[in-house]
Structures are given as C-alpha cells and as structure tokens.
Amino acid sequence: MAIALADILDERHIALQLKSRRLANALREIIGLLEKTGSVLQPAEFLAQVLAREKVNSTLIEKGVAFPHARTALVDQIALAVTVRVVTVRT
C-alpha cells in the first residue's frame, strides 16, 4: 500500500522553529501539533509511548534528523509532523 506524503501531512503539523532543547519537551511540542487537529486525542499517553520507543532504540539518524514514533492504538490513522531545530535536541 503506497502512501502519498500529501495524504498524511497537514500544514498545521509543520513548525519551522521548534523551541524545545530537551527530547521530552521537543516531543511534547511536536505531539501538541498533532493534538490541535485531533490526530492524537491522548497526548500524554502517546508521549509516554513515544519516549518508551526512544529508550528501546533511538529514531535519530544522520545529521540530527529523527523519526520519533510509536505503534499505538491511540491514533486511528497515520499522521506526520515536521519540525526544525537548529540546535541539537538533547536527551
């Protein structure tokens, strides 16, 4: 099943200046974007699941790019948020 980026990225899920410097706060900020549009209805629980996933295996890849995620029953469809942080986010 192919998924088009345009089908999962809502422009309201884009933040070009992520403010947070710590991982948990950055994830909270990103999840907040998803919460505003109803893509995540239980943000605190979703955050806990994403943080647990990060502890098992970091989703950080090259040059500060990361794909934090969790397989969860808390969302009913794929959603994507895109953010930029000039300074590296610390764990």
**Structure tokens given for 85:** 């942080």
Q: What is the pLDDT of residue 69?
A: 86
The answer to whether 34 touches 40, Cβ cutoff 8 Å, is yes
Q: What is the pLDDT of residue 43?
A: 95
What is the pLDDT averaged over residues 6-35? 90
**Structure tokens given for 32:** 């907040």
Question: pLDDT per residue over 50-85, tens digit each?
Answer: 999 999 988 878 777 788 888 889 888 888 898 887
Q: What is the pLDDT of residue 87?
A: 65
